[in-house]
Amino acid sequence: MLQQVPSLEGLTVSIAGFRGIVGEAMTPELAFHLAAVFAGFCPRGTVVVGRDSRPSGQALGAAVAAGLLSRGQNVLDIGIAPTPTVGFTVKKERAAGAVNLTASHNPSQWNALKLYGPDGSFLSPAMLERFLSLHELGAPPCLPSERFGHLREAPDAWKAHVERVLSQIKPEAIHPRHFRVVVDGCRGAGSLPLPFLLNFLGCEVIELDCVPDGRFTRPCEPLAENLTALRRRVSETRADLGMALDPDADRLALVDASGTAIGEEYTLALTTLAVFARGGRLAVANLSTSRLIDDVAARYGGRVIRTPIGEAHVVGAIRAHGAAIGGEGNGGVIWPAVHEGRDALAGAGLLLDYMAETGRTLAELVESLPRYHMVKHTAKVAPERVGELLSRARALHGSAQLNDEDGLKVIYPDRWVHVRASMTEPLVRIIAEAPTEADTTALCAPLLAEARRLS
């Protein structure tokens, strides 16, 4: 007999997972049910289970493992591990899929189940629809105990991920530079792996919040305004640079030697510069990512393919076109040579490799790129009225190039504005980039006024 289907009300459901506040929409009971359904959705074999450092992760992870095991799937529990390690481990172990417990940039009271296919990537939109159809039918019945799956633990799985990063760079060239690096681990899943990688590269590592206990001391997004402690520590210690992570270590933000947070948009631009210097000529980025990456591509005679927001869309385009690098402007670097997923470890290794090769400081590399001013606004707009906001944007910018693959992006030769509904929160995002602050203000002001009217 199929079990009663638990409600997904209160959750944000997308290719980025099932996300909600723990104890409200997100509960161990729901985690058990979704895992049990996933057990029937996956090919028979082993399912990887990982999590970030949130206090709720252990209980939810146990529920997920129970749901999988009771439906006959074997489980490889890798414990607290970076999100990219989860996908990497799926491919390394030839696993049937994975469940990762992380709410990424959301506050600690949130958590999420992120589902992966056997290719080590998030479920595609079509696969998610199939999974949701199975969810509506209810979880399959529990098997007799003799048919339960087996649990294996691999808490150091992230070390194989680090080894893969090392295999794609030149440690022997980085080591003599003795970079002094301050690491802000956000008390998350990258708190151990990133210092481990940097120590192996001969860096002097100064740790800040590198205890993976989930007791976040700053807002989770590695935005410039959230990196005060890191900026101060870089200045005090005269470090060469600072590196900041989010809780699941799929985003990397940078601070230069002066203590200036350069902005997470530069992470992908700089690593694209490094890959194109190696011979790469094709990159993929989402629609809201800075045009810096286009400038880098133009410098080398390359090009950039744009996709809707969401890692799965970027990964799909990377695979379809054989791109050398891709990612998102939130500090998410996807370097296929390591793994087809956003990966702060890969981004860190690639950046240091390029700094060692060129002999240039982080500030000098940033100075070599054009300057733009970007703003990111959010507004509360009822879902049924988002269409009105998009229509207003069309009316205001009828002479521009328009892209409606994900909301609406208005594109001019040297500036753009993108309006879209968030996948992870009940908000509308208005993002703009232009040569000056005044230009971005002019792009955003009418749309923000319209959003306030519609709220």
Q: Which residues are catalytic?
A: 104
CB atoms within 10 A of CB 452: 11
Rounded Cα distance, 187 and 10, in Å = 27
**Residues 234-273 as b or e (16 or more Cβ within 10 Å = b):** bbeeebbbbbbbbbbbbbbbbbbbebbbbbbbbbbbbbbb
Rounded Cα distance, 244 and 230, in Å = 8
Task: Tokens for 38, please give them.
Answer: 């996933």
Q: Give residues with Cβ within 8 angstroms of 260, minimum separation 6.
A: 231, 363
Torsional sign, CA 60, 31, 80, 349: negative
Task: Tokens for 167, please give them.
Answer: 């295999």
Rounded Cα distance, 166 and 298, in Å = 29
Closest to 131 in 3D by CA, of 272, 283, 17, 266: 17
Please tell me what DSSP assigns to residue 183.
E
* Contact (Cβ atoms closer than 8 angstroms) between residue 190 and residue 216: no
Place of tokens 């011979």: 279
* Contact (Cβ atoms closer than 8 angstroms) between residue 75 and residue 69: yes
Place of tokens 């970076």: 82
CB atoms within 10 A of CB 196: 16
Rounded Cα distance, 177 and 173, in Å = 8
Rounded Cα distance, 46 and 353, in Å = 35
CA atoms within 13 A on the CB side of 222: 36
CA dist list (Å): 349 to 87, 162, 164, 436: 18, 9, 10, 32
Beta strands per DSSP E along 86-126? 97-101, 110-116
